[in-house]
Amino acid sequence: MTDLLGKNINKLRRSNKIFYKGRFIKYPFENELSALSKKDKEHCLNTFLYNTYEKNKLNNMFHFF
């Protein structure tokens, strides 16, 4: 795509962040868990490992959310 545009291009570096508990965390959030407090890291890990969604019978995305 960029070859087709030639000089008619403007490249920008993304700098997406999530404002979480008074500070900015790089996006995607999951890739920057090391920036969280120990308590928050443990919560993220435990809710991932021991999630209850496997037991739920969901028919569509509306029920999921």
pLDDT for residue 40: 93
> What is the residue extent of each domain of the chain?
2-64
Task: Give φ, ψ of 6 to 5 degrees.
Answer: 60, -125
Parallel/antiparallel/unpaired status of strands 17-20 and 23-26: antiparallel
pLDDT per residue of the chain (65 residues) written in tens, 0 to 9? 788 888 888 888 888 999 999 999 988 888 888 889 999 999 989 988 888 777 778 788 887 77
pLDDT for residue 22: 92
Summary count for the chain: helices (H), strands (E): 3, 2
CB 51 within 8 A of CB 43: no
